[in-house]
Structure 1
Amino acid sequence: MAWRDNLPTVRGKIARDTALAPFTWFRVGGPAEVLFIPADPQDLSDFLRALDPAVPVIYLGVGSNVIIRDGGVDGVVVRLAGKAFAEISVQGELITAGPGALDSMVARTAAKAGLAGLEFYAGIPGTIGGALTMNAGCYGRETKDVLVSAWGYDRTGARREFQNADFGFTYRHTQIPGDIVWMQATFRGTPDDPVAVQARIDEITSRRERTQPIREKTGGSTFKNPQGRSAWQCVDEAGWRGKLHGGAKFSELHANFMINTGEATAADLEGLGEAVRADVLTKLGVELNWEIKRIGKVK
């Protein structure tokens, strides 16, 4: 691990062999060889330019839609945290947000500015960086419907700019190269009464609180919806709602949400997901695909 002794000079924070579980909603997972929290976008760009290109780099936001495996993560984990990555601004009908901005805050900022169309972000537990990566959406709307453009850095630290059409958006997927780390996105809203927009956000928030286990150690939707069906119905029909697997289970409230009941390992969670996928395929003939990202090494 000689590379760890020759890391680039940064203005942010660097730590070695740091536990990642506290940075994820599931609260599981092993350590990062190196954890880097950049001071701002330029600090990240400079770091990437100077880092040995053979060293793998993985990016982490608020950790809402990820399982860090128990064996930890090789290379560098970059956590985009702090005000420098979470700024939101409005100019006319355009809303600009950093990758660390919470989706729900983008929705509320748009509402205050009297801009409609981004209300669905109030129902997504994550950040804009993740929303861009997976075309996040809910309640009939997706990121593709409101995005104008975005820019980020590639693995070399070079700036790359993309328009909506460049993403090749499909359901929970884009065609953008996997090494891009997003730094800023611009969305277009539609002028509307701020009170009316906020009322729709309040309804989405209320619905989410009634139907999802938002106060548990969870990670949002576990599986993508298969064609013509809802993933939660498949999990439920196969008999997995509330059924324990180690310290993990699918929520009684929403059968597509996995929960760490308190003592789960990453292996429990991923093992549960794989067991359900196999059972649903056998019983229902339906293939469920993961929506939650799993990264790192099995212990």
Structure 2
Amino acid sequence: MSQAITLPKVRGKLTQNAPLAKLVWFKAGGEADWLFEPADIDDLCAFLRELDPSVPIMPLGLGSNMIVRDGGVPGVVIKPGKPFATIEAQGDHTLDCGAGAHGVLIASTARDNGIAKLEFLRGIPGTLGGFVRMNGGAYGRETADVLVDCDVVLRDGSLRTLSVADLGYTYRHSELPEGAVVVAARLKGEAGDPEQIGAEMERIAQAREDSQPVRTKTGGSTFKNPPPEITGGKKAWQLVDAAGCRGMMRGHAQVSEKHTNFLINTGDATSADIEQLGEDVRAKVRENSGIELEWEIQRVGRK
């Protein structure tokens, strides 16, 4: 149940005890005490400026790399929706994108404007806000390679622009300030031929279709790939497979038979089932190889 808190008036949409399972790819988990879908950046700034600073907030994009625990998420979940999904081509092979823009649409807009080096976004399920926060990447490239800067609303409601250097990017990690909500970003590629860009996007889409359980209820890559000097070059999925975890189940949660770094909800799995299955896998990998796998999927909320 939601906290007994007084929320500021908004122009967007505020929903109390909002179910989150339908908003995340695992299709499992509890409710948000409050879900806020701001009308625009000014609405978000005003809301955070007036919100009691003790109330926790959590941004939510496409929900593609997240476990929402069954006890729900305290405070306010902030979902930048359609007003934040804009994509505009600028000069100098740059795209100005809202945080709610989907990766596939960013890549397609880049193609249509002859901007190369953004094709990899075709292979990442999610929105720009998540890519910026987690240094999202695939197929040999990551957000840090193409980000110029980003606009964020801080927890106090102030709007700031952060350069790529400010974010202190490492593998699947940024130093984004606590409580900051990404609202927009500039991405820079280079001149390219739209036909060749499109062909590369199709190659990425087919590779993803062939190797990943994309038509299931999944949260994407579960564990980060450990440093190759520790694993002898083995990726997380290979360590999971070597530990005998392919197809392993807990309740209705399963390690994918198609790609062992993916967990899937085969029916009515709880988030507890999914998270515990991940911990079971980590334990078996630790026992088999001595390597400690680190979660890539965000796990949020109350157990």
* TM-score after normalising by structure 1: 0.97
| Paired residue secondary structure (1:6) | coil
1:234-273 CA distances to partner (integer Å, 9 max, x unpaired)? Answer: 1111111111111101111111011000110000000000
> 1:169, 1:58 → 2: CA distance?
20
Residue by residue over 1:44-87, the C-alpha shift from the partner in whole angstroms, topping out at 9 and shown as x without a partner, is 111101111111111111110100000011111111212x1100
Q: Which runs of 4+ in 1 moved over 4 A?
A: 1-5
Give 1:253's aligned residue: 258
CA deviation after TM superposition for structure 1 residue 5, in Å: 5.3
Instruction: Report the alpha carbon displacement of residue 188 of structure 1 after superposing the two structures with TM.
Output: 0.8
* Counterpart for residue 63 of structure 1: 63
Q: CA shift at 1:3, angstroms?
A: 6.8
Which whole-Å CA distance do the structure 2 matches of 1:220 and 1:14 have between them?
Answer: 29
Q: Quick check: 2:2–2:34 contact (8 Å CA) kept in 1?
A: no
The one-letter amino acid of 2:7's match is L
What value does the CA root-mean-square deviation take over the aligned residues? 1.3
> For residue 291 of structure 1, what is the aligned residue in structure 2?
296
Q: 1:136 to 1:182 in 2, by over 3 A?
A: same
Q: Which of 239, 261, 277 is 1:234 aligned to?
A: 239
Deviation of residue 293 (structure 1)? 0.1
Question: What are the equivalent positions in structure 2 for 1:78-97 lying under 5 Å apart?
Answer: 78-82=78-82, 84-92=83-91, 93-97=93-97
Structure 1: segments with no counterpart, 5+ residues? none
Indicate if the aligned counterparts of 2:120 and 2:201 stay in contact, CA closer than 8 A. Answer: yes
Deviation at 1:23, TM superposition (A): 0.6
Q: Which residue of 1 aligns with 2:18?
A: 18
C-alpha contact (below 8 Å) 1:59/1:78 kept by paired residues: yes
Find the counterpart in structure 2 of residue 8 from structure 1: 8
Matches within 5 A, 1:137-286: 137-228=137-228, 229-286=234-291
- State the match for 1:75 in structure 2: 75
Match of 2:111 in 1: 111
Q: Is the 8 A contact 1:69 1:294 kept in 2?
A: yes
2:231 equivalent in structure 1: none
SS state at 2:281 partner: helix
Deviates more, 1:260-269 or 1:169-178: 169-178
SS in 1 for 2:249: coil
Distance 2:69 2:250 in 1: 16
- Paired letter, 1:35: L
Distance in 1 of aligned mates of 2:46 and 2:188: 31
Task: Please tell me whether the aligned partners of residues 254 and 266 of structure 2 are also in contact (alpha carbons under 8 angstroms).
Answer: yes
Amino acid at match of 2:161: E
3-state SS of paired residue (2:161): strand
Report deviation, 1:187: 0.9
8 Å CA contact retained: 1:49, 1:157: yes
Q: How much has 1:6 moved relative to structure 2?
A: 2.4
Give, in angstroms, the shift of residue 178 of structure 1: 2.5
> 1:2: how far off?
9.8
Q: For 1:2 and 1:274, locate their aligned partners in 2 and report how far apart those are by CA, in whole Å.
A: 29
Q: Does the residue aligned with 1:275 lie in a helix, a strand or coil?
A: helix
Asked if the contact 1:4–1:34 (Cα under 8 Å) also holds between the matched residues in 2, the reply is no
Quick one: which amino acid aligns to residue 197 of structure 1? I
The one-letter code matched in structure 2 to 1:182 is V
Name the SS of the counterpart of 2:204 in structure 1: helix
How far apart are 1:281 and its partner, in Å?
Answer: 0.6
Q: Please state whether the residue corresponding to 1:161 is helix, strand or coil.
A: strand
User: For residue 172 of structure 2, what is the amino acid of its counterpart?
Assistant: R
Unpaired segments ≥5 residues, structure 2: 229-233
Task: Give the total of aligned pairs.
Answer: 297
Q: Which deviates the most, 118-127 or 4-13?
A: 4-13
- The alignment's TM-score, normalised by the length of structure 2, stands at 0.96
State the match for 1:40 in structure 2: 40
Q: Kindly indicate whether the alpha-carbon contact (under 8 Å) linking 2:2 and 2:74 is maintained by their aligned counterparts in 1.
A: no
SS at match of 2:78: strand
2:34 maps to amino acid? V
CA contact (8 A) 2:2 2:17 kept: no
Q: Is the 8 A contact 1:8 1:50 kept in 2?
A: yes
Identity %: 51
